[in-house]
Amino acid sequence: MLRDPDAAQGRFDLLLAFRQNRLELRSVDSSVLSPICVDFLLGSTAQRAARQHMGKQPLAVAIGLRKGCTSVVDATAGLGNDAFMLAALGCSVTAVERCSVLAALLDDGLSRAIADGGLQTRPVAERINLVGADARAFLAGLSTADAPDAIYLDPMFTPRRKKVAVNKVMQLTRKLAGDDADAPELLEIARRIAKKRVVVKRHRLAPPLAPDPAGEHAGKMVRYDVYLPING
């Protein structure tokens, strides 16, 4: 551990720092990026979770909430926004993240949401179980009894056109986690494990991750492609 952050200048690009009771990822050159942390207590996630009619959102419809899909593995958890939304919809969520830095940030955000969240936030965070692992191995190791109703995938999106805006958090996540080139393999494994469906989040204009999804549900910016399980 570095006691003097200035000692990091020139040696590292990024620092994982514990400040003001929270874990943050910061750029050593602070002009490049403001610190990133996972905070379910503030901002848009908690507000969106508080809204009515969540069951009609494309994510809820795609995951099959009204068709009884309530146990979900989010196999690409990242910073946990989608896992939190799924938990806010009432799902019990196993969130799997293989990048240890991102998993540490999410773990910290969930711990604070459980410790300091009110009646709205705490029960949602308590429905999320974080696993630091590669989801391909995690899913392949599940027994039939532990198989989830649905598996949710949001692999890294690589825009083909430079003009597509990618926010700074996404840029940093990609820098840490890479491009998820193995996403088609993860989808294949997920389809062999999920009891009812696999949902893949894509940019609205991106091609499907695999041919012929059984259904699609479009939001303003994103699309959720639904795949049925492969048996045998």
Ligand X SMILES: C[S@@+](CC[C@H](N)C(=O)[O-])C[C@H]1O[C@@H](n2cnc3c(N)ncnc32)[C@H](O)[C@@H]1O
Which residues contact ligand X by CB under 6 A?
75-76, 78-82, 96-99, 102, 134-136, 154-156, 173, 177, 180, 186
SS3 content of the chain, % helix, strand, coil (to 5): 35, 20, 45
Structural Rg of the chain based on CA atoms: 18
Nearer to ligand X, 136 or 192 (CB): 136
CB of 78 to ligand X, least distance (A): 3
Nearer to ligand X, 17 or 169 (CB): 169
Nearer to ligand X, 97 or 225 (CB): 97
- Residue 34 token pair: 């403001």
Nearer to ligand X, 8 or 99 (CB): 99
Spatial strand order in the sheet of 150-153 = 128-132, 92-97, 71-74, 150-153, 197-203, 222-227, 215-218
CB of 43 to ligand X, least distance (A): 13
Residues 6 or more apart in contact with residue 231 via CB below 8 angstroms:
none
Give the separation between CA 159 and CA 66, rounded to whole angstroms.
33
Residue of this chain nearest to ligand X (CB atom): 78
CB of 58 to ligand X, least distance (A): 14
CB of 112 to ligand X, least distance (A): 16
Nearer to ligand X, 136 or 191 (CB): 136
- Give 25's DSSP letter: E
CB of 40 to ligand X, least distance (A): 11
- Residue 73 token pair: 């593995």
